[in-house]
Structure 1
């Protein structure tokens, strides 16, 4: 079983109201896990960029389902949105 874990940068923790993103990648091969982890890394990077560029967006995004609940512990990779 593989997991994705990414720490939220200290300067964004208050805005995003979390210290890290953790997600199960499912029972899969190492290659598939790496691909899924890469996708999650890119999604979190986009979220961090948006939060830095627009502080108000980050505050409203924390209440929006796409930016918070897709990264809750135990969710499945198949539920990944096309974008954040």
Structure 2
């Protein structure tokens, strides 16, 4: 029974590690996603969205621009797995 639990945990972690954005987009953590624009994002490539107490959304965007409030992503979609 214990071996099955360990195996399941290992496979779960492997699945999370394999989640990624489509080619031509970059993963990021943003506060909100409206249509295809993500606002107030971390630096492109950030992958800490799922840390405890963090309400950022994992997104995949084609491009980013730096604004006084942080990065804004364009042509974005929410990362389908929700975790990575």
TM-score relative to the length of structure 2: 0.30
- Could you say which structure has the larger radius of gyration? 2
TM-score relative to the length of structure 1: 0.30
Larger helix fraction of residues: 1
Larger strand fraction of residues: 2
